[in-house]
Chain A
Amino acid sequence: MPIERRTLLKGLAAAPAALAAPPLLRHAMAQSETLDVAAVYSLSGTFANVGTLLNNGSQWAMEHYGSVLGRKINYILLDDRGDAGEAVRKVQEAMSQRGIKHIIGCTNSAIALAVQKEVNARGGIYVQMAGADESTGKDCNKANFRWPVASYSAVNATMRPLIEKFPNAKKWYTITGQYVFGDSLLTNVKDVLKEKGLQHVGNSYHSLSDREYSGYIATALASSPDVLAICNFGNQTLDVIRQAISYGMKRNTKILAIWSTGLDQFQALGPENCEGVYFGCNFWHGVDTPGGREVAAVVKAKTGDVPNYLQACGYAVAQVLVEGIKKAGTTEIAPLIKAMEGMTYEGPTGLEKIRPEDHQVIKDYYLMLGKAKSAMKDKNDFAEVIAATKAFLPPDKTGCKMA
């Protein structure tokens, strides 16, 4: 039978598709067997020490779960090098080229705010640990979930118990990191001071790259405050505390680090610098809960030690996503988001609940007081919990309008 020209052309046109079919089929089959989860962390840059441990926590959690709904979890790290622009570029690439829809993690608020917009626009889901109010406030969206408390909660859960404890501490001074998170803390501090009729005697802003704070501390000392509230995070919190103590500030002033990462920062400060200083913490290994015990077992298997906040936080965002998928019974994004709204689960701090209105995890935030070296029961017993509070803005006050 003679081959018609039209038939020959059709055959030639179909050939590339036929040749490409086996790998495409393999890719499709592999996709159904594994679930790709991308984690956005800074493994270099200013906050690389924070990003490294957050990444450890998330990775260990995913290894601990192994699979979900019969699909092996494939953990993919996206190193944003501490740059929000780089984070967005990597997320865009992962979502458009690799088809990844499930994203977790961030190392700072600016990165989370940028990534949460991107993930929402591309139809994914994002569970993260930013501190800035905006994340589940005016910048909230359907795709975005946040595990740690917002800066509003951190400020209210630390300042209010402290004000009750020291009603005569009327004059407050703040040292603030001039970035999204620092400003967010400062705004909330000012609100509480105004409500309580206390005096804000001054604020010193510092930049993201500052390491020398003695000038700011000298300015603070000149206004003789009763309380120095530190509104920043990471190594900058440590440097401010260390330098404030070296200038003798602890003698007449209470020092409150509103946002601290707990154990790892206590180790970096040493008991001599922790003693008598107040810290706000999202997690403390000494609080005994079923979820906390599970995190402790996973971390102990890896490090032989107790978990710190960063590891627990990395673990928690991974846990929220996997527990959500389990509850939804699918990895499809729309039903997954719906299932996660209102979900309760045994988290690292106890029974935790995701608020449907803004996708904020409702959990305790601790006010801790550093112990003297002689009072420490073991090498990690740096501080005691003096208040555990769930202090959250009512949903209608967060500014969140879920699209």
Chain B
Amino acid sequence: MQLFLFQVLNGLGIGMIYFLLSVGLTLIFGLMRFVNFAHGAFYLVAAYLAFAIVGLTGSMVLALVIAPLAVAILAVATERLLLRHTYRMPHEAQILITFAIALLIQEVVIMQFGPLGQNVPVPQALSGVVFLGPFVYPAYRLAVVAVAAVVAVVLWIVVEKTKLGAVLRAGSESAEMVALLGINVDRVFMATFALGGALAGLAGVLAAPLRGVEPFMSAEALGIAFVVVVVGGLGTLSGALVGGLLIGLVQSIMSTLWPQGAHLMIYAAMALVILARPTGLLGRT
């Protein structure tokens, strides 16, 4: 019984990490109706930037500031130069072009850092474990869960309670109408893309000490991010949170009940949700 209780807690922790992985993806889709397959590549770039910055300076805090910012700039550059030309195209075209960007970025990373994995050490202050009653939990994971929780709250406030959030939400419903009100929709989309990129970057930096860095890590991140947003409902922040937690719980609990099927059950859960609610748990029809 104690083990199951621990798996529930552990699953919630995994879920928060998955939320962080997917929130940038769902934000961009929700507000721009744009399917960004380069999301995993942005995560990859940030993880390697963290590797380089921590290697040079030993400072994870510096990596947390610089890498998401750099990825936001990269996201804006791709949006301005390439992606904005695809907004009126079907989703297939967007998928193809962002997939190509992802492959390009991956190859550049291999050319620069080689095909093998590298280590990003856990910051000294967070390298131990925390005792939660009878359970042991890594201090660093707990810190990542806390950051994810803060991100969730801040994003909810920005999107739901501020004027900027109102503009973003209106832009997602009818870009033409918002433009008629004198708001520069192009700039709003660019800002959204930068924010989505920065969030992917934040996830990449925080994941680096958990997983290490290797050039093929983007595929795993993208896979999980898509499962989470499909389960939660494409384009909704609360959906990403609920989806992340559900997937984390399924994976963790199944690790005890049916270990060999734990990963499979993530996709089985997704299939069940799609059958019961094609728009996802909290998706809009």
A210 at interface (Cβ–Cβ under 8 A)? yes
Whether the Cβ atoms of A216 and B214 lie closer than 8 Å is no
Q: Are B214 and A215 within 8 A (Cβ)?
A: no
Main secondary structure of the interface of B (DSSP, over half): helix
| Chain A facing B: main interface SS | helix
Point out the residues of chain A lying under 8 angstroms from B253, CB to CB. Answer: 215
**Complex formed: what's the CA distance from A269 to B10 in Å?**
23
Asked whether B212 lies within 8 Å of A215 as measured between CB atoms, the reply is no
Interface size of B by CB at 8 A reads 41
Q: B residues 99-128 with Cβ under 8 Å of A?
A: 115-119, 121-122, 127-128
How far is B264's CA from A215's CA once the two chains are assembled, in angstroms? Answer: 14
| Distance, CA A206 to CA B3, complexed state (A) | 18
A181 to chain B, nearest CB (A): 15
Q: A214 with B10: in contact, given A46-B216, A204-B255 (CB under 8 Å)?
A: yes
Choose from A53, A178, A222, A273 the contact partner of B115 (Cβ within 8 Å): A53
**Of B138, B214, B253, B260, most A-chain CB atoms within 10 Å:** B260
The segment from A28-36, A92-100, A240-248, A344-352 found at the interface with B is A240-248
Contact B129 A248 (CB under 8 A): yes
Q: Which residue of B lies closest to A214 (CB)?
A: B10
B117 touching A48 by the CB < 8 A rule? no
Contact with A along B51-74 (1 / 0, CB 8 A): 000000000000000000000000
User: How many angstroms from the CA of A209 to the CA of B13 in the assembled complex?
Assistant: 20
Question: Which residue of A178, A239, A247 has the most chain B CB atoms within 10 A of its CB atom?
Answer: A247
Complex Cα spacing A232 to B214, Å: 18
Q: How far is the CA of A206 from the CA of B67 in the complex (A)?
A: 32
Q: Hey, which chain B residues are within 8 Å of A247, CB to CB?
A: 129, 136-138
Is A53 a contact partner of B254 (Cβ separation < 8 A)? Answer: no
Cβ-neighbour of B252 out of A46, A211, A214, A272 (below 8 A):
A214
A270 at the interface (CB under 8 A from B): yes
Please pick, from A211, A212, A239, A264, the residue contacting B116 in the complex, using a CB distance under 8 A.
Answer: A264
Q: Check if A222 sits within 8 Å of B210, measured CB to CB.
A: no
CB distance A268 to B141 under 8 Å? no
Q: Are B262 and A210 in contact (CB under 8 A)?
A: yes
A196-223 contacts to B (CB < 8 Å): 204-207, 209-212, 214-216, 218-219, 221-222
Point out the residues of chain B lying under 8 angstroms from A52, CB to CB.
115
Across the interface, which residues of A come within 8 angstroms of B14, CB to CB? 212, 214-215
Q: Which residues of A contact B260 (CB under 8 A)?
A: 178, 205-207
Complex Cα distance A239/B214, Å? 12
A238 vs chain B, min Cβ distance (A)? 6
Q: In the bound complex, do residue B138 and residue A246 qualify as a contact, i.e. CB atoms below 8 Å apart?
A: yes
CB proximity of A269 to chain B, nearest CB, Å: 6
Minimum CB–CB distance for B52 against chain A, Å: 15
| With A218-B6, A246-B141: A204-B216 Cβ-Cβ less than 8 Å | no
Contacts of B141 in A (CB 8 A): 214, 246
Considering the complex, give the chain B residue whose CB is closest to the CB of A246: B138
Please tell me if A235 contacts chain B, counting CB pairs below 8 Å.
yes
**Residue in chain A with minimal CB distance to B220:** A211
Is B22 part of the contact surface with A, judged by Cβ < 8 Å?
Answer: no
- Chain A contacts of B121 at CB under 8 A? 270, 272
Kindly supply a per-residue 1/0 record for chain A positions 20-38, scoring 1 wherever the CB is within 8 Å of any chain B CB and 0 otherwise: 0000000000000000000
**Nearest opposing residue in chain A for B122, CB measure:** A246
Report A234 CB to chain B, min CB distance, Å. 9
Q: For A269, give its contact among B212, B215, B255, B259 (CB under 8 Å).
A: B212
A248-B255 CB under 8 A given contacts A242-B211, A268-B118: no
CB-nearest residue of chain A to B6: A218
- Counting contact residues on chain A (CB < 8 A from B), the size range is 35 or more
Q: How far is the CA of A311 from the CA of B259 in the complex (A)?
A: 34
Judge if A330 is at the interface, Cβ distance under 8 Å.
Answer: no
Residues of B within 8 A of A206 (CB): 259-260, 262-263
In angstroms, how far is the closest chain B Cβ from the Cβ of A87?
19
Name which of A53, A210, A214, A265 has the most chain B CB atoms within 10 A of its CB.
A214
Cβ contact within 8 Å between B3 and A218: yes
> Using Cβ atoms and an 8 Å threshold, which residues of chain B touch A205?
259-260
Q: Given A49, A216, A238, A265, which contacts B216 in the complex, CB threshold below 8 Å?
A: A49
B255 engages A49 (CB within 8 Å): no
Q: Check if B172 is an interface residue, CB within 8 A of chain A.
A: no
On whether the beta carbons of B256 and A218 are closer than 8 Å, the reply is yes
Given contacts A216-B255, A267-B118, contact A207 B3 (CB under 8 A): no
Q: Provide the residues of chain B in CB contact with A269, threshold 8 Å.
A: 119, 212
Residue pair B263, A267 in contact (C-beta under 8 Å): no
Chain A residues near B218 (CB-CB < 8 A): none
Chain B hits for A215, CB < 8 A: 7, 10-11, 14, 251-256, 259, 262
- Kindly state the separation between the CA atoms of A90 and B13 in the bound complex, as whole angstroms: 44
B220→A53 contact, CB < 8 A: no
Residues in chain A near residue B116, CB distance under 8 A: 49, 53, 264, 267-268
**In the complex, what residues of A have CB within 8 A of residue B251's CB?**
212, 215
Q: Across chains A and B, which 6 residue pairs bring their CB atoms closest together, nearest first?
A: A215-B255, A270-B119, A268-B117, A205-B260, A246-B138, A248-B129
**30 A–B pairs (Cβ distance < 8 Å), ordered by A:** A48-B115, A49-B214, A49-B215, A49-B216, A53-B115, A204-B255, A206-B260, A207-B260, A207-B263, A210-B262, A214-B141, A214-B255, A215-B252, A216-B259, A216-B262, A218-B255, A218-B256, A222-B2, A235-B117, A239-B211, A239-B212, A242-B212, A247-B136, A247-B138, A248-B128, A267-B118, A268-B116, A269-B119, A272-B119, A272-B122
Known A48-B115, A206-B263, A215-B11; 5 more pairs at CB < 8 Å: A49-B216, A210-B262, A210-B263, A264-B116, A273-B119
